[in-house]
Amino acid sequence: MINKINIFGVEYKIEYVDGDIDMNGLCGRVYYDDQIIRIKKTLPDDTRRNTILHEILHVILLRSGLENILTDKDIDIEDFVDILANSLYNVVKSNDILED
């Protein structure tokens, strides 16, 4: 399983943790100040990968400034990230887009 990821030049450590550790029932969470992404470790493979992608998208939205734009337009960030993560995950999984 991936244990670190570089997003816009910042390296985030990915930790797989028990669901009840500061997760408030969530599957994943970004700790921006500590540069850590925590993922519930008991998730099935597909859900875990989708959750990692979801958390990466949260970082991208925030750091790119897109989150502010969406918020100004009253677009729900969680819905936006969910739809984008599910869609991307589906397309990436269904196609060999990373193969030459």
Query: In this chain, which stretch among 3-11, 35-43, 74-82, 83-91 interacts with Zn ion, using CB under 5 A?
Result: 74-82
Give the distance from CA 86 to its chain's centroid: 11
DSSP 76: -
Q: Give me the amino acid identity at 18.
A: D
For Zn ion, which is the closer residue by CB, 78 or 100? 78
For Zn ion, which is the closer residue by CB, 64 or 95? 64
Q: Minimal distance in Å, beta carbon 65 to Zn ion?
A: 18
Strand order in the sheet with 10-17: 4-7, 10-17, 36-40, 28-31
For Zn ion, which is the closer residue by CB, 59 or 81? 81
